[in-house]
């Protein structure tokens, strides 16, 4: 019980100790327990830093994906004409973001292309269609220079609509989209 209480107490003060430069002293005196707590504190700090970086990067990626949105033929995963330039711009943004993240010492991240549909029709079919559309965009981005190991597709169907209710053709069109985000 005393060890658990000590561990909880230490977990709450480790960030302050780290900032004060006292972690080395704690590691020397606390042995394995101090080292484990220090590692946990470093992991939490890294996760918090990654969350902040991800939020900043995802804001940029979302804006670029919206600006460079390709259209699909209705009810299909076939791209409409005019997508080549847009996908090339989006691919370059992804490549640039990857370089920036790596220059900041970041690793272990993936770019996620999520496909979305409007709410009309069968939900299961929409989910499958959104997955196929996301895969088409991933292939398009890979063809434009994005590394295949850095990107993956997921289908969201109508789970995360931009516009609710999507009861007009214009609102439905806004929900039929893809988004790009980074995940650490």
Report yes or no on 50 lying in a domain. Answer: no
What mean pLDDT is reported for the chain? Answer: 84
User: Does 93 share its domain with 147?
Assistant: yes
User: Does 106 share its domain with 73?
Assistant: yes
Band (pLDDT 50/70/90 cuts) for residue 36 is confident
Instruction: Tell me the residue range of the domain where 24 lies.
Output: 2-44
- Which pLDDT value is given to residue 73? 85
SS (H, E, C) 79-134: ECCCCHHHHHHHHHHHHHHHHHHHHCCCCCCEEEEEEECCCCCCHHHHHHHHHHHH
Here the tokens at position 111 are 């770019």
How many helices and strands (H and E) does the chain possess? Answer: 5, 3
User: Does 96 share its domain with 146?
Assistant: yes
Percent of the chain with pLDDT over 70: 77
Q: Between 36 and 169, whose confidence is greater? A: 169
* Confidence (pTM): 0.74
- Which of 65, 169, 72 shows the shortest CA–CA distance to 114? 65
User: Does 157 share its domain with 119?
Assistant: yes
User: Does 6 share its domain with 94?
Assistant: no
- Which pLDDT value is given to residue 34? 65
User: Does 21 share its domain with 89?
Assistant: no
User: Does 84 share its domain with 129?
Assistant: yes
Report, as an integer, the average pLDDT of 81-86.
94
User: Does 88 share its domain with 34?
Assistant: no
Strand partners, 116: 177
Question: Is residue 81's pLDDT more than 50?
Answer: yes
User: Does 72 share its domain with 9?
Assistant: no
CATH number of the domain at 143, please: 3.30.1330.60
């Amino acid at each position: 019980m005393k060890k658990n209480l000590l561990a909880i107490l230490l977990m709450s003060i480790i960030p302050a100790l780290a900032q004060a430069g006292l972690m080395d002293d704690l590691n020397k005196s606390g042995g394995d327990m101090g080292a484990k707590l220090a590692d946990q504190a470093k992991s939490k700090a890294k996760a918090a830093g990654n969350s902040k970086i991800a939020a900043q990067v995802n804001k940029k990626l979302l804006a670029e994906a919206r600006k460079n949105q390709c259209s699909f033929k209705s009810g299909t995963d076939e791209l409409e004409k005019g997508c080549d330039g847009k996908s090339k711009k989006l691919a370059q943004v992804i490549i640039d973001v990857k370089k920036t993240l790596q220059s900041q010492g970041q690793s272990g991240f993936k770019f996620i292309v999520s496909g979305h549909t409007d709410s009309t029709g069968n939900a299961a079919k929409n989910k499958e269609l959104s997955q196929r559309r996301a895969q088409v965009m991933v292939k398009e981005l890979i063809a434009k220079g994005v590394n295949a190991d850095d990107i993956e597709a997921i289908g969201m169907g109508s789970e995360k609509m931009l516009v609710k209710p999507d009861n007009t053709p214009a609102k439905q069109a806004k929900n039929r989209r893809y988004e790009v985000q980074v995940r650490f």
